[in-house]
Amino acid sequence: MKKGTDDVATAEEEGGLVFHPMDQFIVKPLFGGDTVNWYTPTNVTLWMVIAILAITALLVLGTRGRAIVPSRVQSVAELAYGFVYKMVEDVAGKDGVKYFPYIMTLFMFIVFSNMLGLIPMSFTTTSHIAVTAVMAVAVFLAVTILGFVLHGMSFLKLFWISAAPLPLRPILALIEVISYFVRPVSHSIRLAGNMMAGHAVIKVFAAFAAVALISPLSILAITAIYALETLVSFIQAYVFAILTCVYLKDALHPHH
Partner 1 sequence: MATETESQGDAAATGADAAPGGAEAVGMPQLDFTTFPNQIFWLVVTLVVIYLILSRVALPRIESVLNDRKSTITGDIARAEELKLQAEEAEAAYNQALADARAEAQTIIAEAKAEMQAELDAATAKADAEIAAKAAESERAIADIRAGAMQSVEEVAKATAAEIVSAMGGKSDAKAIDAAIAAQVKG
What residues line the site for partner 1 (CB under 8 A)? 1-3, 5, 22-23, 25-27, 36-40, 42, 44-45, 48-49, 51-52, 55-56, 59-60, 63, 66-68, 70, 74, 77-78, 81-82, 100-102, 104-106, 108-109, 125, 127-131, 133-135, 137-138, 140-141, 184-185, 188-189, 192, 196
- Strand ranges, E, within the chain: none
Angle (CA) 237-193-11 rounded to 5° is 135
Q: Are 27 and 129 in contact (CB under 8 A)?
A: no
Q: For residue 30, count other CB atoms closer than 10 A to its CB.
A: 12
**Closer of 8 and 156 to partner 1 (Cβ):** 8
Distance CA 197, CA 233 (A): 12
The Cα-based distances of 163 to 110, 167, 172, 174 in angstroms read 37, 12, 11, 16
Q: How far is the CB of 199 from partner 1 (least distance, A)?
A: 11
Q: What letter would DSSP give residue 67?
A: -
Cβ at position 180, least distance to partner 1 in Å: 14
Nearer to partner 1, 161 or 197 (CB): 197
Residue 160 C-beta: closest distance to partner 1, Å: 25
Which of 101, 170 has the CB closer to partner 1?
Answer: 101
Minimum CB–partner distance for residue 48 and partner 1 (Å): 4
Q: How far is the CB of 42 from partner 1 (least distance, A)?
A: 6
Q: Considering only CA atoms, which of 30, 147, 36, 161 is closest in space to residue 92? A: 147
Q: Are 84 and 103 in contact (CB under 8 A)?
A: yes
State the nearest-atom distance from the C-beta of 38 to partner 1, in Å.
4
CB of 7 to partner 1, least distance (A): 12
34 or 212, CB closer to partner 1? 34
Of 59 and 252, CB closest to partner 1? 59
CB < 8 Å & 24+ apart, contacts of 43-50: 43/123, 44/123, 44/125, 44/128, 44/131, 46/123, 47/113, 47/116, 47/117, 47/122, 47/123, 47/124, 47/125, 48/113, 48/125, 50/116
Q: By C-beta, is 70 or 93 nearer to partner 1?
A: 70
Nearer to partner 1 (CB atom), residue 70 or residue 169: 70
Using CA of residue 236, residue 242, residue 246, residue 248, what is the dihedral sign?
positive
